[in-house]
Amino acid sequence: MKFEAFIKSCCGSPGKIILGGHMRRSYRYLALALIALAAPVAAREVRYGQNYKPFTAADLLSVRRIGDPQISPDGRWLAYTIGDTDRAANRRLTQIHIISIDGGNPRQLTSGPISATSPRWSPDGKVIAFVRSADGSPQIWTVDAQSGDLKQVTRIATGADGPVWSPDGKWIAFTSDVYPDCPDEDCNATRLKHADESKVKAKIITRLLYRHWDSWKDGMRTHVLVVPASGGRTRDLTPGDYDAPPFSLGGPDDYAFSPDSKELAFARNTDKLEALSTNGDIFTVPVDGGEPHRLTGDNPANDLSPQYSPDGRYIAYRAQAQQGFESDRWRLMLYDRKTGQTRSLTDELDSWVGSFVFAPTSQTIYLVAEDRGRQPVYEVSTSGGPVKRLVSDSFNDDLKVTPDGKTLVVTRQSLTSPAEVYKVDLVGRAATRITRTNDELIAGFGLKPAEEVSWEGAGGTKVHGFLVKPANFTLNKKWPLLVLIHGGPQGAWEDAWSYRWNAQVFASAGYVVFAPNPRGSTGYGQKFLDEISGDWGGKVYTDIMNGVAEIAGMPYIDKDRIGAAGASFGGYMIDWIEGHNSDPRFQFKALASHDGVFNLTSMYGATEELWFPEWEFKGTPWTNPEIYSRFSPHMYVKNFKTPMLIIHSEKDYRVPVTEGLQLFTALQRQGVDSKLLYFPDENHWVLKPLNSELWYNTVLEWFDGHLKARIE
């Protein structure tokens, strides 16, 4: 749900969690709770004309995952990552590549059986810092951009991640999970060694948020440290019993050096009850030591993602206004270091600000924000004025700008194309492909672009979504319909590639795929998003059902063969549909619920980020029991009769596994055709390639068996 937004690093382009969520997070981001898809299609006997072959889950696993483009200081080169699936090892292996900003043949810079991630150019452009786990623990390394020579920079027991160079090239900042009461590396190493070697694995817990997403806190905190670029002892710049930066599923970095390298800005949440708080603040601290200074204490909601302007005058950051609401609109704020004044630059933009970057002159900021399933690029002046749309088409992210200020570099993707790197001329505004990593693989499938559809939802409100059809689609036959419901609920289906709920894999299996963006979806204005809170089974349900009725009325849809699937909030909605599958216009014949919330009261007592249910259901189960009861799927078990597949994972701490087990028990006791797929080694997402393959194979077999979706 936001119990989930993506995990970006593990699931593809550092784009978002595009279709699922924490049911969200998203940042969307995510985008949102959703799983990498995969599955063989041989048993389905789908016949394709026009020399196209079906795009299967096995093909999805073969797609190379582009991400994290970084421009060299001279503006001539890009470092970026490519992730490949290693089926034998059941993992993904990521390596760093370099390509000219004008395109051409890339050069692989790192290699071997260990992933290399997070490439960051040194200020002189000679080496690239990155993260590598050579001895089981992630550490900061550097690689010579010409020779490929490697050097290990950090050697700390608690590991290192997220390297950021100081502009003078003397320091590298990074994050590490440390024991907050430890004064040095030796203390942390001793504590970790003792914990690993102890035969007693019991945990003593004294406060909430003792576990988070898929891991136990175990008394450790994320801190920002610095290490000399040449290696040596590290220094903790953010000591204390707080996480700095706070946990996030994605978005821009939450720490940055000032242009003179004397100061570090970072985000930290110092509220005592973290399970109820979304109050991150921006701090600054001298790099040579000293006490942090809080810049944003007046705002009770999140302030994250600080960036200094190149001239050092400003710190830009993203902020929300609603305390306890993680899905409030993200605005771009500007703090003037000279006057101490702060102002919003994007009040007129009714959308979430995602990644952003200063122009070299410090007078302009480029940013991305969702809009109806896509993500345009905007520009805004630091002196104020209107937010102007710079690039309207496609789904853009990961903004970078060349040192001469003439070119933007972005990742760009769609429902027919995995992420690739592009450059945008800031004068002519023409976009040019730089990488063509997956062109040959994707070309043979004839994937159909998403079609936009709209209909009237609850109260006559216009609702928007996407249709994806098989490559061999024809109007002269009836097709089964598969409805996908996104997570979040504050997330959205985008015209963007997904390594989880990939609509093209479903379409290639012989389904017309409908992806609605009902109430609660991002990219349609904050009012539209807000209207799901406190109303989970209300307007959003009507929006979805009206959309399905609209699509089911199309002449090429077989309204007797309609199924629906979703994860996280999408799983909740599948559970809700199970107890409310009585629409006179159509009926769902089969359902699939992944990581869905079944019992709102038990969910509250077992999840970790309590701000989420307390916002969404306007209190606790004992202060507002009526709303928990009214919108909890478990209250409608007596109506359960539709065949359902349930999928849940042991390490899902956002929507604990007992939600899926309760649902399966209820279905079995009601005598409903049901199946449970349980993963002991996954979390809110299914991330291991072979587990994903089993996931997809099971989901498609379930719908094939109940909807008989075979193309003759």
Q: Could you tell me which residues are beta bridge partners of residue 99?
A: 78
User: Rounded CA gap, 23 and 162, in Å?
Assistant: 25
**For the purposes of burial, counting CB atoms within 10 Å of the CB of 266, is it exposed (0-12), middle (13-18) or buried (19 or more)?**
buried
Q: How far is CA 279 from the centre of its chain?
A: 20
Structure tokens at 447: 């994937």
Any idea which residue has 């809009």 for tokens?
A: 371
Helix, strand, coil abundance in the chain, percent, nearest 5: 20, 30, 50
Neighbours of 324 (CB within 10 A): 16
Q: Of these residues, 13, 521, 568, 674, which one is catalytic?
A: 568
Residue by residue, DSSP assigns 66-121 as EEEEEE-TTSSEEEEEEEEEETTTTEEEEEEEEEETT----EE---SSS-EEEEEE
Q: Of these residues, 253, 535, 652, 704, which one is catalytic?
A: 652
Judged by DSSP in three states, 376 sits in: coil
Based on the residue annotation, tell me whether 681 is a catalytic residue of this protein: no
Based on the residue annotation, tell me whether 521 is a catalytic residue of this protein: no
User: Rounded CA gap, 68 and 133, in Å?
Assistant: 18
**Nearest in space to 642 (alpha carbons), one of 666, 659, 678, 615:** 666
Based on the residue annotation, tell me whether 168 is a catalytic residue of this protein: no
- The residues, any chain, with a CB within 8 Å of residue 393's CB and separated by 6 or more, are 374, 376, 431
Contact 219, 209 (CB under 8 A): no
Q: How many residues does the chain have?
A: 712
Structure tokens at 459: 């109260």
**Beta strand spans in 229-351 (E):** 235-236, 255-257, 263-268, 281-286, 293-294, 303-308, 314-319, 331-336, 342-344
**CA atoms within 13 Å, Cβ hemisphere of 305:** 24
Structure tokens at 178: 């440390």
- The residues, any chain, with a CB within 8 Å of residue 473's CB and separated by 6 or more, are 448, 479, 512, 556
**CA atoms within 13 Å, Cβ hemisphere of 626:** 1
Q: Could you tell me which residues are beta bridge partners of residue 481?
A: 512, 562
Q: Of these residues, 22, 464, 684, 706, which one is catalytic?
A: 684
Active site residues: 568, 652, 684
